[in-house]
A and B are shown apart, each in its own frame.
Chain A
């Protein structure tokens, strides 16, 4: 039997995400997928779900949900205080949901993206092999007030609460692992050493598409032909801005690609807030 979650209040930038949309880059379709794939994977793991089951991803607070049927859920990622019908619940621990339960959150000022996993995943439509929201691909680009997300009813009374201690999970490190990008070799020694030694600050220009850094790097690289890019590619714009492409980034770009963030560090950087500092650490050639 199907249940549905109703979005009572949409909160801030809530979307449905899975691992992402693979195989359609050649048509210009972004990969999308959970910004912090580690916290997303953890949610499905702790629920014994399939690894690609869809979760809700949201930033900060304000999201209020109401469930129409019994199920199990779990909350991972950026720290929040969870209220189920007004009663506090723990993150990283299965939460039993009953018919008509209402779920709310208070943001705990650490991290950017929180994940709500549900037993069997949220069953929103699959478009081009993925449930991840993206404008012009899925009918919705964010969760709106009144939206209803289907899920399979689950009546298991789960007493085997699996949980993980929180501090292990969100990576506090400011060190971001990178590889050299295709145009790295065009940089001068001075540009390279600045790039690898400076403390960079997360600017307020951040989205699921890209994170811009506050500090600039002098740039005199020649213009280049548009070429493929991936999430994690760090571009250097003509005005010297460094832009880290994130999960919803375009498939091609025309700015020099100076660094490529490692897949693990992508999750770390996704959880950094405006004003936080990072340093790049070059991985062996």
Chain B
């Protein structure tokens, strides 16, 4: 399936390509397939391609001399019959402890949504979420698929420090803080895993297009996984679908 794309010069050395302004998996798959094709077959002057929901930012090593001719190359690349990436998907199971001792906002969040804590946990841990892209902080996954009943606008005053591992909800999105950071989302759980390791060549194991599912764990298991992670003994393996 091909979309009507918009091509815009972004800076001296970057071109932005935009898909229709929607969050959906057809767009995601097309965008990732095109990205993969460009990484393999595009000009060697492309140093990096940054994806988001409905856009790719193509970054070049040097100033683009002729933007129009570069855009027409990109357009013809898009209309080549490139391979689709949506065939082999991976699903990661992410352990989350929804204990109120670790989740400072879980109770207030539940009462604001007129749900019990157990209902919130179930609504949050049942869906399969899609990873759309990584942004905001190193290793922060933008996920699609949060249940409508859990949408809640961000806090009016952001917290100065949201702890690393916090599983949180902001607006219609849910995510996991990969490091300590200020943030305005409601923290409803805690994940013991590392989402970003700068000492690795591939610092984040997750990729756009992967799926994740949250698995509720108790305090005991949280501590057990936590200490394994600290000792580098915890291996997270995806299920290949």
B211 within 8 A of A: no
Knowing A29-B203, A136-B138, A225-B54 touch, does A230 contact B179 (C-beta < 8 A)? Answer: no
A252 interfacial contact with B, CB 8 Å: yes
A213-252 with Cβ < 8 A to chain B: 224-228, 230, 232, 250-252
Docked complex Cα distance between A270 and B179 (Å): 27
Residues A250 and B137 in contact in the complex (CB < 8 Å), given A24-B203, A225-B23: yes
Chain B residue contacts of A182, Cβ below 8 A: 8, 10, 16, 18
Kindly state whether residue B140 has any CB partner on chain A within 8 Å. Answer: yes
Interface centre among B50, B53, B133 (most CB of A within 10 A): B50
Q: Please indicate which of the listed interface residues B16, B18, B21 has the most CB atoms of chain A within 10 Å of its own CB.
A: B16
Q: How many angstroms from the CA of A25 to the CA of B136 in the assembled complex?
A: 10
Residue interface mask A136-161, B partner, CB < 8 A = 1 = 11100000000000000000000000
Say if the beta carbon of A193 comes within 8 Å of chain B: no
Q: Tell me whether B48 and A23 are in contact (CB under 8 A).
A: yes
A136-B137, A227-B55, A251-B135 known; A25 vs B50 contact (CB < 8 Å): yes
Most-contacted residue by chain B among A22, A30, A136, A181 (CB, 10 A): A136
Decide if B139 is an interface residue (CB 8 Å cutoff).
yes
- Are A136 and B179 interface neighbours, CB within 8 A? yes
Whole-angstrom CA separation of A225 from B50 in the bound complex: 15
Task: Give Cα distance in the complex from A26 to B141, angstroms.
Answer: 11
Residue of A nearest to B35 (CB): A26
Closest to B137 in A: A28
Contact of A15 with B by CB under 8 A: no
User: Which residues on A sit within 8 Å (CB–CB) of B117?
Assistant: none
Given contacts A227-B54, A252-B52, contact A260 B10 (CB under 8 A): yes
Q: Roughly how many angstroms separate A252 CA and B134 CA in the complex, as a whole number?
A: 9
Interchain CB contact (< 8 A) of A26 among B51, B178, B179:
B51
- Chain B residues within 8 Å of A136, by CB: 137-138, 178-179, 196, 198
Contact A227 B52 (CB under 8 A): yes
Whether B142 is near chain A, meaning CB under 8 Å from some CB there, is yes
Chain B residues with Cβ under 8 A from A138's Cβ?
198
B residues with CB within 8 A of A: 8-14, 16, 18, 21-23, 47-57, 59, 133-140, 142, 178-179, 196, 198-199, 203-204
- Top 5 A-B pairs, shortest CB-CB distance: A252-B135, A228-B57, A136-B179, A228-B50, A225-B53
